Amino acid sequence: RAGIHGHDVARDPDAVRRSMGVIPQALTSDLDLTVGENLNIYAKLYDVPASKRRQAIDELLELVDLTKWRDAQTKTLSGGMRRRLEIARGLVHSPKIFFLDEPTTGLDPVSRVAVWEMLTNIKSHRQLTILITTHYMDEADRLCDRIAIVDHGKLVAL
């Protein structure tokens, strides 16, 4: 049997999904919605109670330094700002496990540093396991407590 955060993946897949935040490599936020609307939709999808939604979104916008862009359409954001929105979106339901696939791919050097500093801050202020896939070993070394190297689907080093 496989389990994640105390939930059996076969018996309680919804609880497993609620315990995880996932950010794919591609930027997937709706470009025609505002930053706040994107976060609100995901909060609703993850059943964040209406009474807690606004506060959760406010806290995340502050965490990712997007508060003043709350009402901006997502398509007006830079790539680094959109990545920060994606990170906030993945945390909107307070998951215990956070998966990020190549979170800095395609970002300029300044945005890459900003994303890694933000992840370091998140790691230090939340009870959260962060799993990252990356080709940038220097970044993984800076953020990660443990590093696994996978080659063609096989674990070759831990």
Beta-carbon count within 10 A of 7 CB = 18
Report helix, strand and coil shares of the chain as percent, to nearest 5.
Answer: 45, 15, 35
Residue type, 135: H
Note whether 73 and 32 are within 8 A (CB): yes
Say what the pTM is.
0.85
More confident residue, 1 or 45: 45
CATH architecture of 3-157: 3-Layer(aba) Sandwich (3.40)
Nearest to 5 by CA among 99, 139, 143, 87: 99
Residue for token pair 């309680």: 12
Partners of 131 in the beta sheet? 99
> Domain locations in the chain?
3-157
Top-confidence range, 34-38, 115-119, 132-136: 34-38
Tens-place pLDDT, residues 26-39: 889 999 999 999 99
